[in-house]
Amino acid sequence: MSKLRTVAAALAAAAALTLSACATSAPAPAQTGSSNEPTFIAGGKLTVCTHLAFKPFQFKDDTGAIVGFDVDLMDLVAEDLGRTQEIVDIAFDQVWSGAAFAAGKCDAGAAAISITDARKKSTTFADPYFESTLALMVKTGSGIKGLEDLRGKTVAVQTDTTGATFAEQKASEYGFETKVFDDMPTASSSVLGTGADATINDNGVLLSFANDNPSVTVATEFADTGEWYGFNVSNDNKPLADEISRVLRESKADGRFNEIYKKWFGVDAPK
């Protein structure tokens, strides 16, 4: 049984969110910068840029508070540094490109950012903390099971994401068109109505969305698209990336990481 089916079975029993979690080697974070101490844009704060919403990693709850897996992990970092996390919602391309750091908007990015070679050039990543694959979400009962069923159809994608890049690379081969949206919720919601026949994005957020909306379902995951998320910082602030990596390692060793993982995904973190 695959880990996805194992996790799905466990979470179905617990009426919780499903998630794929494969154990493979994580990529090494980029190594840049020369300062010995982390720098921050505001006293007493760890200012973190994100792009809402990307449930369950970062989103607003019913009270309007920004919560999620990424948020809780960065709270650990802020606490360890003797600071309080302050979250800034900003366009996703501003986070992965490093523009938000150059403009003095934030100290770090926490937005379920897939680590790519191009992104490692524009920013410095802490150690990877979460593995993800791309997935295809469709209307329940549509009969769409994979890319081969998308000919003549419209696939919603979120701008500036690896899911959008993947879909655009496959569009000609499989005969579908892509429709670009600014964020995950609007791209995913387009499948609920008549805006699109399917959407491609990371499996964690699509499984969460489908869990909340039974009229759509995750038809398949693309196993060959395995990616790792990482928190990023400016290339001249590598000591902050080092501090984030240290807190991640220590929290995995003492069980805090697993507690947060189980809180949001209903199962233990993969070893």
Tell me the pLDDT of the chain averaged across its residues: 89
Kindly state whether residues 124 and 17 are assigned to the same domain: yes
Kindly state whether residues 73 and 109 are assigned to the same domain: yes
Kindly state whether residues 68 and 139 are assigned to the same domain: no
Kindly state whether residues 109 and 144 are assigned to the same domain: no
Kindly state whether residues 10 and 113 are assigned to the same domain: yes
Kindly state whether residues 117 and 14 are assigned to the same domain: yes
| Residue-range definition of the domain harbouring residue 141 | 133-227
Kindly state whether residues 124 and 189 are assigned to the same domain: no
Is position 209 within any domain?
yes
Is position 270 within any domain?
no
Residue 207: how many CA atoms within 13 Å on its side-chain side? 27
- Confidence at residue 224, expressed as pLDDT on a 0 to 100 scale: 82
Kindly state whether residues 124 and 141 are assigned to the same domain: no
Q: Residue ranges of the chain with pLDDT lower than 50?
A: 1-25, 28-34
- Provide the whole-model pTM: 0.79
- Confidence at residue 15, expressed as pLDDT on a 0 to 100 scale: 35
Kindly state whether residues 97 and 14 are assigned to the same domain: yes
Kindly state whether residues 105 and 8 are assigned to the same domain: yes
| CB contact set of 252 (below 8 Å; sequence gap of 6+) | 258, 269
Number of domains in the chain: 2
pLDDT 10s digits, 172-183: 999 999 999 999
Distances (CA, A) of 249 to 23, 102, 109, 128, 244: 16, 28, 18, 10, 9
How far is residue 12's CA from residue 15's CA, in Å, rounded to a whole number?
5
Kindly state whether residues 103 and 153 are assigned to the same domain: no
